């Protein structure tokens, strides 16, 4: 026999369960007013669902619930600090009252977005590695020979034309490295870098990225001490800052890139300034967080990568900004003193040793040979593992300059390079390493310039095996 006390106990038990579940639970009457909640519901959440202030999306969900008896979906709730809370909502109609469970899934959603981005990057990496390797092979002889001509024709009208070719080839190689760095991050290439020169060569990319409505100004100090870092990572960081500055100036403005020495901290201060809308203190504090964005587009990874670059380069990063007053981002890059003047450095990379070039691409092989011979080196060419093995029998060979993709599949060549006293320098067209050729051997990443080639060859010869 049914007893009224059973109903009271059931209601008490249901209330006990509702009060102790961790998710917010709300009870709304027929007019959409919130009549009851559990402990997990905040006043802001009550205001979000209450009929008087509820959004059209909440009203639509309640209409479906009253029509079908049950309803579920996901609602976006704006937060006071500008962020958005994502709620997964499940509702049921009980005695003309809507009982709603609203679970905050913002963290899950962010993790899902991150995983989706990482999977997309991984898919791009497989394609990008192959394409960039081929592009860098094409650019290597162009960059080597145009730079060689520009330096040896200096003072003539032809030198300027050669410099234009070298600049275009360099910009193309930067673009190829940027694609690879985004799609498949790899090991940093730490080399001494003239920050002002890099910014000058990056200017065409900066202007194209900033757009016609933005006036780009460079204030670059000449003769700065070099900074030891990954040049591609520096370029990526600056371009990310430029993109952010452009988005902050929807109606146009002025973008300034400045490089100055900071003797007090033995660093180079690299600044990117804009005259844009600026940032609030809250946005400024979170600007470099991964996946944080205040835009209607983008994934919030751009400025996070700038922070990662600064950390890896041992640099500091400061941001000055206020609403309506623009933004200034300053990277302080630790530097090393100049070791010698230009003439002394040019002489220091020459030599008389014999270099074996192991490269299947005839254009690259001849360009390498031409530049090395012009610097005083003897050259022996090999277009494959068999000819390389035969050439290694010559005891006069001091250095083997080897393409990684040609040598890695050949166990006999890799073994010969490891066992013989000949020094080895491995050329790489992507983010690979020398592990498959001679573990621990120095590497030279395509596409490279004449100064880079001569400097690395000289360094490899000067290090005892």
Kindly report the average pLDDT of the chain as a whole number: 81
The verdict on 98 and 195 lying in the same domain is no
Using DSSP bridges, classify how beta strands 267-274 and 227-230 pair: parallel, antiparallel or unpaired.
unpaired
Which one has a higher pLDDT value, 254 or 441? 254
Residue 224 confidence (pLDDT) = 87
- Which of 76, 104, 132 corresponds to the end of one domain? 104
Tell me the C-alpha distance between 417 and 402, whole Å. Answer: 10
Q: Decide if pLDDT at 291 tops 60.
A: no
Residue 175 located in a structural domain: no
Residue 232 confidence (pLDDT) = 80
**Rama region for 69: left / alpha / beta (φ>0; ψ in -120 to 50; rest):** left
Residue 310 located in a structural domain: yes
Least confident of 112-116, 124-128, 288-292, 343-347: 343-347
Residue 300 confidence (pLDDT) = 44
The verdict on 413 and 330 lying in the same domain is no
For 385, half-sphere exposure in the C-beta direction (CA atoms, 13 angstrom radius) is 15
The verdict on 396 and 434 lying in the same domain is yes
Residue 169 located in a structural domain: no
Q: Which residues contact 303 (CB under 8 A, 6 or more apart)?
A: 240, 241, 244, 287, 288
Per the structure block, which two tokens stand in for 276? 């844009």
Confidence of residue 298 (pLDDT cuts 50, 70, 90): very low
Residue 263 confidence (pLDDT) = 82
The verdict on 369 and 330 lying in the same domain is no
Tell me the C-alpha distance between 67 and 58, whole Å. Answer: 14
In the block, residue with structure tokens 């102790």:
20
Tell me the C-alpha distance between 100 and 279, whole Å. Answer: 37
Domain with 98 in it: 21-104
Residue 173 confidence (pLDDT) = 81
Residue 260 confidence (pLDDT) = 93
- Which of 45, 76, 104 corresponds to the end of one domain? 104
The verdict on 384 and 439 lying in the same domain is yes
For residue 272, how far is the Cα from the chain centroid? 17
Residue 299 confidence (pLDDT) = 43
For 159-203, the pLDDT digits (tens) are 888 888 888 887 788 777 767 666 555 555 677 889 999 999 888
Segment 32-47 mean pLDDT: 86
The torsion defined by the Cα of 158, 160, 161 and 163, in degrees rounded to 10, comes to: 120
- Cα torsion angle, 4, 6, 8, 14, sign: negative
For 336-372, the pLDDT digits (tens) are 655 444 445 555 678 899 999 999 999 999 999 999 9
The verdict on 244 and 353 lying in the same domain is no
DSSP category for residue 265: G
Query: CB atoms < 10 A from the CB of 322, how many?
Result: 12
Q: Is the pTM of this model over 0.85?
A: no
The verdict on 63 and 201 lying in the same domain is no
Residue 432 confidence (pLDDT) = 54
The verdict on 322 and 422 lying in the same domain is no
Q: What is the CATH number of the domain that holds 408?
A: 3.40.50.2300
Tell me the C-alpha distance between 64 and 165, whole Å. Answer: 66
Q: What is the CATH number of the domain that holds 67?
A: 3.30.450.20
| DSSP helix/strand/coil, 21 | coil
Helices 302-313 and 231-247, axial angle in degrees (round to 10): 140
The verdict on 220 and 255 lying in the same domain is yes
The verdict on 322 and 364 lying in the same domain is no
Residue 185 located in a structural domain: no
Give the count of domains, the chain: 3
Q: What percentage of the chain reaches a pLDDT higher than 70?
A: 82
The verdict on 352 and 438 lying in the same domain is yes
In the block, residue with structure tokens 């290694």:
392
For 69-113, the pLDDT digits (tens) are 899 888 888 888 778 888 889 988 888 888 888 888 887 877 777
The torsion defined by the Cα of 357, 358, 363 and 366, in degrees rounded to 10, comes to: 20
Residue 81 located in a structural domain: yes
Confidence of residue 319 (pLDDT cuts 50, 70, 90): confident
- Which of 308, 338, 368 corresponds to the end of one domain? 338
Residue 122 located in a structural domain: no
Query: CB atoms < 10 A from the CB of 244, how many?
Result: 22
Tell me the C-alpha distance between 458 and 465, whole Å. Answer: 14
The verdict on 305 and 353 lying in the same domain is no
Residue 400 confidence (pLDDT) = 92
Residue 93 located in a structural domain: yes
């Amino acid at each position: 026999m049914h007893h009224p006390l059973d109903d009271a106990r059931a209601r008490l038990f249901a209330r006990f369960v509702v009060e102790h579940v961790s998710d917010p639970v709300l009870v709304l009457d027929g007019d959409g007013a919130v009549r009851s909640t559990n402990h997990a519901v905040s006043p802001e959440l009550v205001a979000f669902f209450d009929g008087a202030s509820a959004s059209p999306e909440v009203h639509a969900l309640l209409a479906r619930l009253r029509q079908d008896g049950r309803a579920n979906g996901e609602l976006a709730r704006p937060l006071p600090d500008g962020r958005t809370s994502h709620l997964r909502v499940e509702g049921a109609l009980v005695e003309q009252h809507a009982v709603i469970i609203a679970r905050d899934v913002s963290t899950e959603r962010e993790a899902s977005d991150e995983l989706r981005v990482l999977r997309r990057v991984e898919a791009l990496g497989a394609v990008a590695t192959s394409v960039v390797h081929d592009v860098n092979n094409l650019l290597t002889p162009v960059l080597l020979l145009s730079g060689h001509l520009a330096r040896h024709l200096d003072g003539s009208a032809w030198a300027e034309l050669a410099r234009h070719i070298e600049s275009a080839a360099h910009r193309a190689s930067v673009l190829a490295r940027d694609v690879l760095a985004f799609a498949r991050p790899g090991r940093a290439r730490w080399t001494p870098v003239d920050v002002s020169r890099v910014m000058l060569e990056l200017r065409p990319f900066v202007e194209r990225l900033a757009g016609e409505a933005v006036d780009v100004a460079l204030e670059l100090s000449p003769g700065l001490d070099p900074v030891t870092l990954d040049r591609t990572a520096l370029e990526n960081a600056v371009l990310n800052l430029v993109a952010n500055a452009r988005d902050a100036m929807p109606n146009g403005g002025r973008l300034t890139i400045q490089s100055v020495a900071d003797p007090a901290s033995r660093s180079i201060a690299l600044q990117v300034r804009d005259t844009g809308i600026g940032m609030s203190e809250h946005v400024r504090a979170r600007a470099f967080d991964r996946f944080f964005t205040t835009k209607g587009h983008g994934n919030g990874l751009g400025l996070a990568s700038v922070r990662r670059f600064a950390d890896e380069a041992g640099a500091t990063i400061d941001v000055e900004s206020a609403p309506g007053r623009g933004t200034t981002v300053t990277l302080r890059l630790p530097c090393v003193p100049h070791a010698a003047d230009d003439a002394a450095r040019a002489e220091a990379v020459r030599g008389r040793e014999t270099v074996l070039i192991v490269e299947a691409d005839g254009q690259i092989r001849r360009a390498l040979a031409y530049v090395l011979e012009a610097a005083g080196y003897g050259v022996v060419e090999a277009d494959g593992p068999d000819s390389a093995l035969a050439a290694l029998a010559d005891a006069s060979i001091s250095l083997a300059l080897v393409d990684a993709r040609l040598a890695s599949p050949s166990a006999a060549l890799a073994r010969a390079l490891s066992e013989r006293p000949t020094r080895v320098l491995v050329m790489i067209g992507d983010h690979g390493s020398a592990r498959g050729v001679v573990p621990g051997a120095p590497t030279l990443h395509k596409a490279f310039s004449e100064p880079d080639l001569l400097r690395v060859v000289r360094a490899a010869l000067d290090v005892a095996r």
